[in-house]
Amino acid sequence: MSIHKEIKKVTTHTLQKMKNNGEKISMLTAYDFSFAKLFDKANIDVLLVGDSASNVMAGHETTLPITLDQMIYHASSVIRGTDRALVVVDLPFGSYQSNSDIALASAVRIMKETGAHAIKLEGGEEIVESVKKIVSAGIPVMGHLGLTPQSIYKFGTYNVRAKEESEANKLKNDSKLLQEAGCFAVVLEKIPALLAKEVSESLNIPTIGIGAGKHCDGQVLVMHDMLGINTEFKPRFLRQYLNLADSIVDAVGRYVSDVKANEFPNDAESY
Ligand code: KIV
């Protein structure tokens, strides 16, 4: 019997057991109560309240503008819709980079005010001290390496990261540092599949890939991309499971026509 089928509540320990047993981890982003409830019902292992909310919920071009208060609002909505999944919340840009005391204070706010189970932050060596401090306070931390969207203005593009040997070596070293600092898992975003394989095999903790190939211990996608709500974003790594955009536009179009033609509501829909 797979751990996934047996488990009533996913914890960081469950994810470690999945890696040890060779069972892949499923993770999706969620930002609100209703979708979290549906994803939880579908037995997703991990729900990530990603700072991608800045893009897909608020319409910003980057993840930089979203605030800690806004992340807390999204995370508490997700928590209310979740019974089984582990809920991880992104620390937004500016809420942890300046020093480890501020990072801890931000992580504590998320845990206290949302009821979430873990936090995620982006970066390697530069944020290791913060990871250690947050973990020592009893808060589980997920790392995030490779393409780290909060640093988009440093990279300049959303292209594949760590193709060059020096960047690949830094990523390998960072992944070890994050594991030593106490991270329970690491997201690997948009890096070559062979590098992700090497990192996944060298770490004891699980890796969760997005655009990082099939050898990671789990996979994550942004819900608006995989459900086809956001149809303009079509990177090679994305598998679109639904075309919700067309279904919604069609349904709303039919509703508009019915209202205009005075065909909605009918007698049976009236009091
Ligand atoms: O914010 C987010 O959605 C993420 C995933 C892409 C991993 O960090």
- pTM assigned to the model: 0.97
Mean pLDDT (whole number) for 26-49: 98
**How many angstroms separate the alpha carbon of residue 254 from the centre of ligand 1?**
34
Mean pLDDT of 176-181: 98
The finding on whether 223 has its CB within 6 A of some atom of ligand 1 is: no
**Ligand 1 site-directed mutation target among 95, 189, 225, most atoms within 8 Å of CB:** 189
Q: Kindly state if the Cβ of 168 falls inside 6 Å of ligand 1.
A: no
CA–CA gap between residue 147 and residue 32 (Å, rounded): 25
Domain boundaries, the chain: 3-240, 243-271
**What CATH number does the domain located at 3-240 have?**
3.20.20.60
- Return mean pLDDT, the chain: 97
Tens of pLDDT along 215-260? 999 999 999 999 999 988 899 999 999 999 999 999 999 999 999 9
Whether 207 is in the pocket of ligand 1, judged by its Cβ within 6 Å, is no
pLDDT band of 1, cuts 50, 70, 90: low
Residue 15 near ligand 1, beta carbon < 6 Å: no
Q: Which atom of ligand 1 is nearest to the CA of 50?
A: 1
Are 115 and 83 within 8 A, CB to CB? no
pLDDT in tens, 55-110: 999 999 999 999 999 999 999 999 999 999 999 999 999 999 999 999 999 999 99
Q: Which atom of ligand 1 is nearest to the CA of 52?
A: 1
Q: What is the mean pLDDT of residues 108-129?
A: 98
According to the model, what pLDDT value does residue 184 have? 99
- pLDDT surpassing 90 at residue 271: yes
Please work out whether the CB of residue 122 comes within 6 Å of at least one atom of ligand 1. Answer: no
